[in-house]
C-alpha cells in the first residue's frame, strides 16, 4: 500500500512541476478600459453577490462582491459584451458601452436549471438522465438536531430517515430507496467535499443494543451549502461497489472570488421536554394484580384458592413510589456559530466555528460539540487551482444505556414494582431483581466518549484547455474515539468488582486518492453538440484500530484510572481493507433536447475471494427535454418537460469483515492462560460483490409558467448475490457461512411538488410536498433467519416477505368465557407450537413524506413542516414486559394490564392473569396467556406506528435594513421555532419515532425502554456583519 501512495505522490509532484512551469509564461496585459458595475435581482432589486461577469471572447471574469458590485480593468475597448451568470438566474449577455453599468438578472423559476453535483462532476439538471434530489443548506439549518442526515427527514423524496431515540447525537436510520441488503451495509455512501467518510459507529461502550452515535454529527450542518442525493443506477454506478445504497454528496460553503468579507453569527437556545411520560400501575393495584394472579394460578392447578397464602395481605395499604418523575428533565440546548467568507482576486475562503450543547430529556445523557472548518481555494494561475476543505470537530458524549440493558436508567425506573421503596431504610439505594436503581444511575453513571474527527481534502485542478481539466484529490477521514468509563460501587455493575473501569481507543481512518480527467465541450453550429466526459481512478483504504483496557477493584470511588485497578487486562485489534477503482463516464446532449449517457466502473476489493475480486458496474441513461420541442411548446401548458430513463448496476461490499473470504482460525481461544486457536471462519474463494440492478423512469415538469414543478420517479431495484451469512448446520462447528446467496427487491414511486402559490414583492408563499412509496421483498433466501429482542427472535427474514418482519403468535381474541388467549392455529393441529408463529406485520413504512409551507411577508417569515409515515408496526417491548400476568416476579405493570379479563362475558385483548404452566400446547389454555409456548410473544403487543407530526413550526422576523445600517449590521433575523409540537398517531407508547434495537439493521421497530423524541422550543438570532 505504501508503494501506491509513494507513486501517487511522485506523480502529483511531476504534474505540478510541469504545470507551474507553464504558469510562469503569462505576461502582463495592457489596460484599455475600466468598468464599474452592479448586478441586481430584477424583481427585488437586491444585489446578487457572487454573480459571475465575464467578458465574452476572453477568459477574463470577475465575481460580484457582497453588495453586488464588480469592476474590470481590461485590455478590451468599449463596447464589449458581458456574459453575466448567477446560480438560479437566467444568464444574460449585456453590451457594455461605458462605466458604470447596472445589470439586472431574472430569477430562474423551475428547478431544471439548477446546477447539480453528480458523481465526480457538475452538470446542469436539465441534461441529467439520473435521479438526483438536491436539498439546500437553508432547508436544514436551525434544526435542533446534531447531524445533517437527521435533518433530511421528510425533505427529500426517496430518503427515509428515522431517529432511533431522543438521545442527542444518538443513532439514526437512513435509507435511500429502501433496504437493499441483509448482512452487508444498507447505509448510503457519504461524500463530504470529495472525502469518502466513514459512517461506522465508533462508540464501543456497550449499553444496550442501540446504535450509540450518529457519526455524521461531527459535521456542523450550518457549514453546508447543499446536499445531493444520488438515487438511481445512472447516478450511483460511477461509485461502483460503494453506490448501491445511494450516495449523499455534501458540499460545504466556500467563498466567492472578489467578494467582500462577510461575518455571520447564529445562535439559538432551546428547551426540550418529553411529549409523554411513562405510566405504571400504582402500589395497591400492583399488589391486587399479583394476588389475583396467584388465585387464578391455584385454580388452574386444581388447588382450592382459599387454601393458599396470598403474597399481599392488605394491598389497599400498599405505598406507591414514583420513579418516573425523577427520570425526566427539561433539557436545555444551546448553539453558537460564527463564520466568515469572502475572496480576493486569486483566492477564496470560508472559515467557520460552531459550538453545540444538548442535554437529553432523560437524565443523564449529554452531547456537546465543537467544530471548525476551513475551506480555501487559490488560483495559482488562470489554469491551476489548488484548494483544501478541512473539518475538525470534537464531540463529547455522556453515554447512558437503555433498551435491553436491565441496568439501564429507564429500565431501572420503569420496571421495578411501584410499591417497592427507592431507598433502603438505611438510606442506601434499593435494587430489585435484575434492575439497578435509577437515582444511583443518574448520579453515578460515568461513561464519557470523546470523538476527534478530521475530515480533510486537498486538491489541485489544472485546466489544460478550457474544456479539459485534471483534478487530483487527496482525502482523509480520521476519527479517533476515546472513551473512559467508570462504574463505581454505588452502581449494581460495580458492586461485586469493587468498581470497574474500561477505556477504549477506537480509530477509523479512510484514505482516498482520486484522479479525474474531465472533458466538457460544446461544438457544432449553435453549439448543438454537448459532451461531458470523464475518466479517473481512486485508491481507497479503510483502516480500523481498536485498543481496550479494563480494570476492576479500586481502593475508593475517587480513584478511576485503570492503572490503579487491582486487576487489569487489555486487548487490541485492527483490520484494513482496500479498494482500487477505475471509472469512465460520458454524456452527450444534442440540441439541448436529447441526452444519452453511460458510465463504467471497475472495482477491485481486498475483502473478496481471490477468484472474484474485481467487479464491473455499467450504467446507461437517456433524457429527453420534450418541453423544448415545438409541438409541446405550442400546447402552452408546460414551462418545462423532461423524461428520463436509466438502468445500471452498482455494488456493495460494506458491512462485511475485512477478511471475510478467508478460511481462518482465530487466536485468543485461550485456556489456563496459554494461547489457543480455534476454527472461526470457512474460506469462500468465490465471495464477491453484492449487486444491485436498478431501473428508473422519471419525469420532471413545470406548469403554470413554472409556478408548479413536479418530479415523479418510478424505480425497481433488484439486489442479487446478497452477501449473506447463510446458516449452516451447527454440527459443522460453524454457525454461518458468508456467501453470495439470495436477493431483495425494492420498488417504489416518488413524487416531489414545488409550488409557488403567491409571489409578489411583499408576500410570498411556497409549498413543498414529497411522498415516497417503497415496497420491499426478500425474493430468495437460504432459510428463515430469526433474530432480535435478546434471543426472543421477534424479527424474521423470510423469503417472500419484507425485511424487518415481526414473527409472533397472532392473538385472535381473549375467550370471553375462559379469559384465556386464543391464538391462530396456523397448521390446524389443535395445538399451539412453534409452527404456529407467523409474520404479523412489518417495521417498514409503506410511504413517508414531508409537507412544507413557507410564507414571507415583508420582514416576517413563517414555516410549517409536517413529516409523515404510514404502515409500519412497532413492537412495544415495554408492554411485553409489563403486561406479564404475574410471570415476572420483579416487574411491575403498565395500566393496560388493568384491562385483563376478570369476569365471564368480558371482551378484552388482555388475558386473565395466571402463571400456570401446565399443558403449554393448549390453545385457549391458561399456560399460554403469558407463558407456555407463546411466552408472551403475542401480537397483542404489536401496534400501528403510523404518524403525522408537525415537525417544525417557525416564525422569524428580519429587522429592516434601514434600522440596522447605523450599527454596522447588514442583516438580523430573530426567530422562534417549535419542534415536534403536534403528533397524530394511534401508537400508545410514548412516541412512534423510535427504534431501540438499531445496532442490527434487521431488527427495526422496537420500543424498549428508550428515550423518546422530545418536544423542543427554541429562540434564535442570525446576524450578518
Partner 1 sequence: MKRHHIIKTILIFQALLIFASCKKALTEIPNNAIPTQDAIVDASTARAAIIGTYDAVQNYYASNYPTLGTITADNVIFNGTLSQYLQLDQNAIPPDNVITVAAYQGIYKAINSANSVIAYVPQVSDPLLTATEKNKILGEAYFIRALGYFDLGRGWGGVQLQLKPTTDLSALKGIKRSTLDQTYDQVLADLTKAEPLLPEDATTRNRAQQSTVRALRARLDLYRSQWADAENYATQVINNTKYTLVKPYKAFFTAPFLSTESVFELTFTANDKNSFWNLWYPSSLGGQFTLKPSDAIVAKLNNPAIGGTRNTLIAGSGTSVYGVLYNTSATSTDPSYVIRIAELYLIRAEARAQQGNLSGALADLNAVRNRAGVANSAAATQADVLQAIEDENSVEFAFEPHRWFDLVRTGRAGTVLGLTNQNYWLFPIPLSDILSDPDVTQNAGY
Please provide residue 656's backbone torsions phi and psi, each rounded to the nearest 5 degrees.
-105, 160
- 30 burial (CB, 10 Å; 0-12 / 13-18 / 19+) is exposed
State yes or no: residue 665 binds partner 1 (CB under 8 A): yes
CB of 832 to partner 1, least distance (A): 10
Q: How far apart are CA 893 and CA 282, in angstroms?
A: 9
Task: Report whether 377 contacts 393 (CB < 8 A).
Answer: no
3-class SS letters over 841-866: EECCCCEEEEEEEEEEECCEEEEEEE
CB of 564 to partner 1, least distance (A): 16
Binding mask 263-302 for partner 1 (x = CB under 8 A): ----------------------------------------
State yes or no: residue 346 binds partner 1 (CB under 8 A): no
Beta-sheet pairing, 347-359 with 331-343 = antiparallel
CB of 156 to partner 1, least distance (A): 35
DSSP state for residue 50 in the 8-state scheme: T
Among residues 97, 382, 591, 670, the one that binds partner 1 under rule CB under 8 A = 670
Q: Footprint of partner 1 on residues 588-607 (CB under 8 A)?
A: 604-607
For the chain, what is the total number of helices (H) and then of strands (E)? 11, 51
State yes or no: residue 574 binds partner 1 (CB under 8 A): yes
CB of 886 to partner 1, least distance (A): 12
CB of 577 to partner 1, least distance (A): 6
CB of 847 to partner 1, least distance (A): 33
State yes or no: residue 792 binds partner 1 (CB under 8 A): yes
Q: How far apart are CA 224 and CA 318, in angstroms?
A: 57
Stretch touching partner 1 by CB under 8 A, among 210-218, 663-671, 765-773, 815-823: 663-671
State yes or no: residue 725 binds partner 1 (CB under 8 A): no
CB of 508 to partner 1, least distance (A): 16
Q: How far apart are CA 180 and CA 186, in angstroms?
A: 6
State yes or no: residue 611 binds partner 1 (CB under 8 A): no
**For residues 427 and 729, which CB has a smaller minimum distance to partner 1 in the complex?**
729
**For residues 464 and 590, which CB has a smaller minimum distance to partner 1 in the complex?**
464
State yes or no: residue 609 binds partner 1 (CB under 8 A): no
Please provide residue 323's backbone torsions phi and psi, each rounded to the nearest 5 degrees.
-100, -15
State yes or no: residue 671 binds partner 1 (CB under 8 A): yes
Please provide residue 174's backbone torsions phi and psi, each rounded to the nearest 5 degrees.
-130, 125
1022 - beta bridge partners? 266, 973
CB of 483 to partner 1, least distance (A): 21
Please provide residue 718's backbone torsions phi and psi, each rounded to the nearest 5 degrees.
-120, 115
**For residues 524 and 733, which CB has a smaller minimum distance to partner 1 in the complex?**
733
Q: Footprint of partner 1 on residues 736-755 (CB under 8 A)?
A: 737
Instruction: Name the nearest CA neighbour of 668 among 680, 656, 657, 660.
Output: 680
**For residues 658 and 974, which CB has a smaller minimum distance to partner 1 in the complex?**
658
Instruction: Name the nearest CA neighbour of 391 among 337, 357, 340, 354.
Output: 354
Instruction: Name the nearest CA neighbour of 740 among 676, 679, 651.
Output: 651
Cβ neighbours of 434 (radius 10 Å): 15
Among residues 372, 609, 727, 895, the one that binds partner 1 under rule CB under 8 A = 727
Beta-sheet pairing, 664-667 with 677-681 = antiparallel
**Alpha-carbon dihedral angle through residues 162, 398, 876, 748, given to the nearest 10 degrees:** 10
Helical spans, DSSP H, in 113-208: 137-140
CB of 554 to partner 1, least distance (A): 11
Cis peptide upstream of residue 79 (ω within 30 degrees of 0) = yes
Query: Under rule CB under 8 A, how many of the chain's residues touch partner 1?
Result: 112
**For residues 422 and 855, which CB has a smaller minimum distance to partner 1 in the complex?**
422
Q: b/e per residue, 941-953, with b = 16+ CB within 10 A?
A: bbbbbbbbbbbbb
Among residues 108, 134, 398, 786, the one that binds partner 1 under rule CB under 8 A = 786
Q: How far apart are CA 1010 and CA 1006, in angstroms?
A: 9
State yes or no: residue 860 binds partner 1 (CB under 8 A): no
State yes or no: residue 100 binds partner 1 (CB under 8 A): no
Q: How far apart are CA 39 and CA 52, in angstroms?
A: 9
State yes or no: residue 793 binds partner 1 (CB under 8 A): yes
State yes or no: residue 436 binds partner 1 (CB under 8 A): yes
Q: Footprint of partner 1 on residues 348-407 (CB under 8 A)?
A: 406-407
CB of 891 to partner 1, least distance (A): 6
Instruction: Name the nearest CA neighbour of 247 among 209, 281, 197.
Output: 197
Q: How far apart are the two ends of the chain, measured CA to CA in Å?
A: 48
Beta-sheet pairing, 172-176 with 159-163 = antiparallel
**For residues 27 and 760, which CB has a smaller minimum distance to partner 1 in the complex?**
27
Contacts of 205 (CB under 8 A, 6+ apart): 212, 399, 447, 449, 483, 485, 502, 504
CB of 60 to partner 1, least distance (A): 20
Among residues 16, 396, 432, 1025, the one that binds partner 1 under rule CB under 8 A = 432
Contacts of 801 (CB under 8 A, 6+ apart): 777, 778, 839, 842
Among residues 273, 454, 537, 813, the one that binds partner 1 under rule CB under 8 A = 537
Residue 305: left if φ>0, alpha if ψ -120 to 50, beta else—which one? alpha
Q: Footprint of partner 1 on residues 876-935 (CB under 8 A)?
A: 881, 887-891, 917-918, 920, 927, 931-933, 935
Task: Report whether 692 contacts 650 (CB < 8 A).
Answer: yes
**For residues 553 and 871, which CB has a smaller minimum distance to partner 1 in the complex?**
553
**For residues 102 and 686, which CB has a smaller minimum distance to partner 1 in the complex?**
686
Residue 18: left if φ>0, alpha if ψ -120 to 50, beta else—which one? alpha
Among residues 669, 704, 982, 1019, the one that binds partner 1 under rule CB under 8 A = 669
Stretch touching partner 1 by CB under 8 A, among 384-392, 427-435, 447-455, 758-766: 427-435
Q: How far apart are CA 655 and CA 479, in angstroms?
A: 18
Distance from CA of residue 203 to its chain's centroid? 16
**For residues 592 and 784, which CB has a smaller minimum distance to partner 1 in the complex?**
784
Q: Footprint of partner 1 on residues 58-97 (CB under 8 A)?
A: none
Stretch touching partner 1 by CB under 8 A, among 277-285, 344-352, 566-574, 1010-1018: 566-574
State yes or no: residue 681 binds partner 1 (CB under 8 A): yes
Instruction: Name the nearest CA neighbour of 235 among 635, 607, 717.
Output: 717
CB of 569 to partner 1, least distance (A): 5
**For residues 668 and 904, which CB has a smaller minimum distance to partner 1 in the complex?**
668
Task: Report whether 224 contacts 30 (CB < 8 A).
Answer: no
Stretch touching partner 1 by CB under 8 A, among 112-120, 369-377, 573-581, 892-900: 573-581
CB of 925 to partner 1, least distance (A): 11
State yes or no: residue 830 binds partner 1 (CB under 8 A): no
Binding mask 456-495 for partner 1 (x = CB under 8 A): --------xx--x-x---------------------xxxx
State yes or no: residue 586 binds partner 1 (CB under 8 A): no
Binding mask 495-534 for partner 1 (x = CB under 8 A): xxxx----------------x-x-----------------
CB of 578 to partner 1, least distance (A): 6
Q: Cα separations (Å) of 754 from 56, 707, 776, 856, 863?
A: 35, 8, 28, 16, 15
Stretch touching partner 1 by CB under 8 A, among 43-51, 206-214, 721-729, 1008-1016: 721-729
Amino acid at each position: 500500500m505504501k508503494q501506491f501512495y509513494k507513486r501517487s505522490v511522485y506523480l502529483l509532484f511531476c504534474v505540478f512541476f510541469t504545470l507551474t512551469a507553464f504558469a510562469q509564461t503569462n505576461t502582463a496585459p495592457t489596460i484599455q478600459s475600466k468598468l464599474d458595475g452592479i448586478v441586481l435581482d430584477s424583481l427585488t432589486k437586491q444585489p446578487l453577490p457572487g454573480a459571475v461577469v465575464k467578458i465574452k471572447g476572453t477568459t477574463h471574469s470577475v465575481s460580484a462582491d457582497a453588495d453586488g458590485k464588480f469592476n474590470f480593468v481590461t485590455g478590451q475597448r468599449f463596447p464589449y459584451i458581458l456574459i453575466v451568470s448567477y446560480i438560479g438566474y437566467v444568464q444574460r449577455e449585456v453590451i457594455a458601452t461605458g462605466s458604470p453599468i447596472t445589470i439586472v438578472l431574472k430569477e430562474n423559476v423551475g428547478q431544471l436549471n439548477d446546477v447539480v453535483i453528480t458523481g465526480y462532476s457538475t452538470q446542469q439538471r436539465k441534461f441529467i438522465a439520473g435521479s438526483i434530489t438536491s436539498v439546500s443548506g437553508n432547508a436544514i439549518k436551525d434544526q435542533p438536531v446534531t447531524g445533517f442526515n437527521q435533518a433530511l427527514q421528510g425533505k427529500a423524496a426517496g430518503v427515509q430517515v428515522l431517529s432511533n431515540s431522543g438521545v442527542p447525537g444518538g443513532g439514526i436510520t437512513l435509507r435511500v430507496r429502501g433496504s437493499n441488503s441483509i448482512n452487508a451495509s444498507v447505509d448510503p455512501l457519504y461524500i463530504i467535499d470529495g472525502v469518502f467518510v466513514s459512517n461506522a459507529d465508533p462508540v464501543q461502550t456497550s449499553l444496550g443494543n442501540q446504535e450509540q452515535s450518529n457519526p455524521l454529527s461531527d459535521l456542523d450542518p450550518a457549514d453546508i451549502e447543499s446536499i445531493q442525493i444520488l438515487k438511481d443506477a445512472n447516478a450511483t454506478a460511477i461509485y461502483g461497489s460503494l453506490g448501491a445504497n445511494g450516495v449523499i454528496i455534501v458540499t460545504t460553503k466556500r467563498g466567492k472570488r472578489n467578494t467582500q468579507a462577510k461575518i455571520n453569527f447564529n445562535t439559538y437556545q432551546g428547551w426540550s421536554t418529553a411529549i409523554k411520560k411513562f405510566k405504571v400501575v400504582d402500589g395497591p393495584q400492583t399488589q391486587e394484580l399479583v394476588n389475583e394472579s396467584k388465585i387464578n394460578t391455584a385454580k388452574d392447578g386444581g388447588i382450592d384458592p382459599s387454601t393458599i397464602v396470598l403474597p399481599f395481605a392488605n394491598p389497599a395499604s400498599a405505598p406507591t413510589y414514583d420513579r418516573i418523575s425523577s427520570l425526566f428533565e427539561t433539557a436545555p440546548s444551546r448553539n453558537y456559530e460564527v463564520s466568515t467568507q469572502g475572496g480576493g482576486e486569486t483566492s477564496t475562503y470560508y472559515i467557520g466555528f460552531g459550538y453545540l450543547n444538548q442535554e437529553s430529556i432523560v437524565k443523564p445523557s449529554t452531547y456537546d460539540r465543537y467544530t471548525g472548518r476551513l475551506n480555501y481555494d487559490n488560483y495559482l494561475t488562470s489554469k491551476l487551482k489548488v484548494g483544501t476543505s478541512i473539518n475538525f470537530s470534537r464531540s463529547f458524549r455522556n453515554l447512558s444505556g437503555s433498551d435491553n440493558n436491565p441496568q439501564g436508567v429507564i429500565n431501572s425506573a420503569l420496571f421495578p414494582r411501584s410499591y417497592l421503596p427507592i431507598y433502603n431504610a438505611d438510606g442506601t439505594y434499593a435494587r430489585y431483581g435484575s434492575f439497578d436503581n435509577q437515582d444511583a444511575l443518574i448520579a453515578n453513571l460515568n461513561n464519557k466518549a470523546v470523538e476527534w474527527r478530521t475530515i480533510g481534502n486537498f486538491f489541485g485542478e489544472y485546466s489544460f484547455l478550457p474544456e479539459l481539466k485534471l483534478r487530483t484529490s487527496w482525502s482523509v477521514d480520521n476519527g479517533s474515539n476515546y472513551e473512559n468509563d467508570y462504574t463505581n460501587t454505588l452502581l449494581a455493575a460495580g458492586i461485586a468488582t469493587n468498581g470497574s473501569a474500561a477505556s477504549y481507543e477506537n480509530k477509523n481512518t479512510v484514505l482516498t486518492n482520486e484522479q479525474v480527467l474531465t472533458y466538457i465541450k460544446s461544438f457544432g453550429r449553435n453549439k448543438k453538440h454537448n459532451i461531458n466526459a470523464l475518466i479517473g481512478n481512486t485508491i481507497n483504504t479503510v483502516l480500523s484500530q481498536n485498543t481496550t483496557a479494563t480494570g476492576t477493584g479500586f481502593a475508593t470511588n475517587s480513584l478511576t484510572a485503570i492503572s490503579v485497578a487491582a486487576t487489569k487486562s487489555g486487548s487490541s485489534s485492527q483490520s484494513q481493507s482496500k479498494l482500487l477503482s477505475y471509472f469512465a463516464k460520458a454524456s452527450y446532449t444534442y440540441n439541448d433536447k436529447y441526452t444519452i449517457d453511460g458510465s463504467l466502473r471497475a472495482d477491485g476489493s481486498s475483502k473478496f475471494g481471490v477468484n472474484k475480486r474485481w467487479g464491473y458496474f455499467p450504467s446507461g441513461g437517456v433524457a429527453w427535454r420534450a418541453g423544448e420541442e415545438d409541438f409541446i411548446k405550442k400546447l402552452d401548458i408546460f414551462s418545462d418537460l423532461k423524461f428520463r430513463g436509466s438502468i445500471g448496476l452498482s455494488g456493495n461490499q460494506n458491512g462485511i469483515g475485512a477478511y471475510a473470504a478467508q478460511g481462518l482460525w482465530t487466536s485468543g481461544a485461550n485456556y489456563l492462560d496459554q494461547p489457543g486457536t480455534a476454527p472461526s471462519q470457512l474460506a469462500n474463494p468465490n465471495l464477491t460483490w453484492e449487486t444491485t440492478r436498478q431501473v428508473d423512469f422519471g419525469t420532471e415538469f413545470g406548469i403554470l409558467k413554472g409556478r408548479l414543478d413536479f418530479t415523479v420517479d418510478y424505480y425497481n431495484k433488484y439486489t442479487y448475490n446478497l452477501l449473506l451469512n447463510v446458516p449452516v448446520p451447527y454440527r459443522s462447528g460453524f454457525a454461518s457461512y458468508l456467501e453470495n446467496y439470495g436477493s431483495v427487491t425494492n420498488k417504489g414511486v416518488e413524487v416531489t411538488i414545488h409550488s409557488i402559490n403567491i409571489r409578489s414583492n411583499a408576500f410570498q408563499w411556497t409549498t413543498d410536498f414529497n411522498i415516497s412509496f417503497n415496497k420491499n421483498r426478500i425474493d430468495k433466501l437460504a432459510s428463515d433467519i430469526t433474530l432480535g429482542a435478546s434471543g426472543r427472535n421477534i424479527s424474521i427474514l423470510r423469503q417472500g416477505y419484507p425485511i424487518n418482519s415481526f414473527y409472533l403468535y397472532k392473538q385472535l381474541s381473549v375467550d370471553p368465557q375462559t379469559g384465556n388467549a386464543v391464538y391462530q392455529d396456523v397448521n390446524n393441529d389443535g395445538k399451539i407450537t412453534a409452527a404456529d408463529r407467523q409474520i404479523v406485520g412489518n417495521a417498514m413504512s409503506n410511504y413517508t413524506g414531508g409537507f412544507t409551507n413557507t410564507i414571507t411577508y415583508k420582514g416576517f417569515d413563517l414555516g410549517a413542516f409536517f413529516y409523515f409515515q404510514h404502515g409500519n408496526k412497532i413492537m412495544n417491548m415495554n408492554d411485553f414486559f409489563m403486561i406479564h400476568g404475574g410471570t415476572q416476579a420483579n416487574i411491575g405493570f403498565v395500566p393496560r394490564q388493568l384491562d385483563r379479563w376478570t369476569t365471564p362475558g368480558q371482551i378484552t385483548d388482555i388475558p386473565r392473569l395466571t402463571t400456570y404452566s401446565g399443558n403449554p400446547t393448549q390453545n385457549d389454555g391458561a399456560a399460554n396467556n403469558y407463558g407456555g409456548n407463546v411466552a408472551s410473544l403475542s401480537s397483542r403487543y404489536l401496534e400501528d406506528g403510523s404518524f403525522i407530526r408537525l415537525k417544525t413550526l417557525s416564525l422569524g422576523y428580519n429587522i429592516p435594513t434601514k434600522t440596522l445600517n447605523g450599527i454596522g449590521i447588514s442583516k438580523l433575523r430573530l426567530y422562534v421555532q417549535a419542534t415536534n409540537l403536534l403528533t397524530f398517531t394511534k401508537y400508545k407508547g410514548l412516541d412512534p419515532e423510535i427504534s431501540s434495537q438499531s445496532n442490527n439493521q434487521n431488527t427495526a421497530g422496537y420500543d424498549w425502554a428508550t428515550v423518546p423524541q422530545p418536544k423542543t422550543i427554541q429562540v434564535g438570532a442570525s446576524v450578518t456583519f
